[in-house]
Amino acid sequence: MTGVSPPTPTGARTRADRCPGLARPWIADDGALVRLRLLGGAVGADQLAALLDVAEAHGDGAVHLTRRANLQLRALPHDGEGRLRPDVADAVLATGLVPSASHELVRNYLLSPGLGATRADLRPLLSALDAAVCGSRSLARLSARFLVVLDDGGGEVLDRPCDLGLVALSGTRAQLRVGDGLGPVIDLTDAVPALVALAETFAEARGTGPDAPWHVTELPAPLDHPLAVPTPPDPALPAPTGAPPYDAAHVAVPDGRLTRGLPLPAGDLVVTPWRSVVPDPRRAA
């Protein structure tokens, strides 16, 4: 696969990851930073407006877009002991964008925004996967860097490095991604249990110490699971396309800094991995 970063040598990790969330903000010089993990970039215009209210009342006045199609708030007040001020945390929770306290940090998914030549609508699959992940006690131990990438067959996110993922080959079949390689071809109806089984195998293999690997490629041995067997690319595997050309529907967000002055469409929106916002291209389907 292209675009995959080289693995960190085994044993190089000496600490747990520090990716921020609501319950574990990153305390920077300008205040607390909080990351909100979206489900495939999906967010309502009203939720973005509510986040902007929080950013303007308590932070730096902007909602920041990330390359994983998530959102961040910066410069938030904290208690000096690594926690957000309670009223600020409650305001963020009121947006509905933190659906799981126990699994908040590990809900890391990248989904094709649906702007390319889509072969399958993977949104229902992602919703089912998220529910399964949040229902697995062992998966709460994953690193907050662990990433699942789901490409709908258009190739938009096929060049993004991942720990696990899949690529739609048709409306019913997909090829798994495992670390920097490919796994077997499976039916899409089997994708959720397959990805959960692989993730649980990794969670067991990585251990729990401060030097536990963050990524599949950092394990001292290949992932030991039948669905992790390296497999040649299926003939139907698409080529990576990356970002599609921007059109009138895109709201480009300069430097990923979304402020009240940018005109946003109403209704269901998608934050893209290229720091833009678009009306959900599949909402009329």
Per DSSP, helices labelled H in 67-122 are 86-93
Q: Looking at the domain assignment, is residue 120 inside a domain? A: yes
Q: Looking at the domain assignment, is residue 178 inside a domain? A: yes
pLDDT digits (tens, 9 = 90+) for 100-127: 999 999 999 999 998 888 999 999 999 9
Span of 100-109, 170-179, 244-253 with lowest mean pLDDT:
244-253
H or E element at residue 231: none
* 186 and 122 housed in the same domain: yes
For 174-202, letters b (16+ CB in 10 Å) and e give bbbbbbbbbbbbbebeebbebbbebbbbb
- Does residue 49 carry a pLDDT above 70? yes
- Rounded to 5 degrees, what are φ and ψ at 104? -50, -45
* 120 and 182 housed in the same domain: yes
How does strand 63-65 pair with strand 148-151? unpaired
Percent of residues, the chain, with pLDDT higher than 70: 93
Q: Looking at the domain assignment, is residue 163 inside a domain? A: yes
Looking at the chain, the number of H-run helices and the number of E-run strands are 4, 14
pLDDT digits (tens, 9 = 90+) for 29-45: 999 999 999 999 999 99
* 159 and 197 housed in the same domain: yes
Domain span at 200: 116-228
* 224 and 120 housed in the same domain: yes
Q: pLDDT-based confidence at 11, cuts 50/70/90?
A: very low
- Does residue 8 carry a pLDDT above 50? no
* 66 and 145 housed in the same domain: no
Q: pLDDT-based confidence at 270, cuts 50/70/90?
A: very high
What integer is the mean pLDDT of 152-172? 97
* 123 and 211 housed in the same domain: yes
* 55 and 130 housed in the same domain: no
Whether the CB-CB separation of 4 and 215 falls below 8 Å is answered with: no
* 163 and 211 housed in the same domain: yes
d(CA 2, CA 109): 19
Q: Looking at the domain assignment, is residue 210 inside a domain? A: yes
Q: Looking at the domain assignment, is residue 8 inside a domain? A: no
For residue 60, count CB atoms less than 10 angstroms from its CB and return exposed for 0-12, middle for 13-18, buried for 19 or more: middle
Residue 1 confidence (pLDDT): 45
d(CA 83, CA 280): 34
Q: Looking at the domain assignment, is residue 17 inside a domain? A: no
Q: Looking at the domain assignment, is residue 284 inside a domain? A: no
* 253 and 195 housed in the same domain: no
Give me the CATH number covering residue 41.
Answer: 3.90.480.10
What integer is the mean pLDDT of 247-251? 75
Counting the structural domains of the chain, the total is 2
